[in-house]
Structure 1
């Protein structure tokens, strides 16, 4: 008659390699996402002071109004123009009139992101003398 031996089986071993592989993959994912989200450029928006009695701010004698239409077209004071011409005219206008401001009047149908990108391009030429306008 044979008796079973009372030897305890070997304790199970935990393999850490697959767990560490998954953890490193998750860490790499969050590092890439953090770097991607941190590289966005910001546009500094300064809101004007509240006007008493809803009085509109006076426009200059020769306003420089850039309209961004829903079709992606750009107009300068009601006349169609292209971006290169617009940049040259902006530079000339701002050098002639050091106190005036360039106004960007976007269409209401345009997505916010497209308007902000165009505003950023205009600010590379005009700096803080470019203002986002709304039509009332």
Structure 2
């Protein structure tokens, strides 16, 4: 008599493939490494000219100094330490960015200012200068 909740057992035990795959990957990695070590690089023999015959490489241009825009604790904008009004700052920034295609503008904001004012000034500057506007921070010294 057989009970209903008895489980029938299969004739063959289950096969665990994980150890076999680990061994196969190890063997494959071994053969790849041995093949790479035993093969020679073949190429055409070429006699290269000496370096003295070539002109010296030109030095890459150094990027220009960034334009420093300061937002002091009173909320006043200064461009290169010259005070400007809230409506006058756009012209010098645009002139600098046109004259220096590799240049960028750095906003130095006083830490006592409300964060909202700093973010608004930065957003206004990004509308004029795009991705060439950065916010200066003090890096902690170790």
TM-score range relative to shorter protein: 0.5 to 0.7
Counting matched residue pairs gives 78
Question: Hey, what does 2:96 align to over in structure 1?
Answer: 93
Unaligned stretches of 5+ residues in structure 1? 1-58
Distance 1:91 1:72 in 2: 21
Distance 2:92 2:128 in 1: 10
> TM-score, normalised to structure 2's length?
0.51
> Offset at 1:84?
2.6
- Where has structure 1 moved over 2 Å in runs of 4 or more? 59-63
Q: As a proportion of its length, which structure holds more helix? A: 1
1:1-136 aligned within 5 A: 60-135=63-138
Unaligned stretches of 5+ residues in structure 2? 1-61
> TM-score, normalised to structure 1's length?
0.53
Please tell me whether Structure 1 or Structure 2 has the larger radius of gyration of its CA atoms.
2
The DSSP-based 3-state class of the residue aligned with 1:103 is strand
CA contact (8 A) 1:105 1:135 kept: no
> Offset at 1:61?
4.3
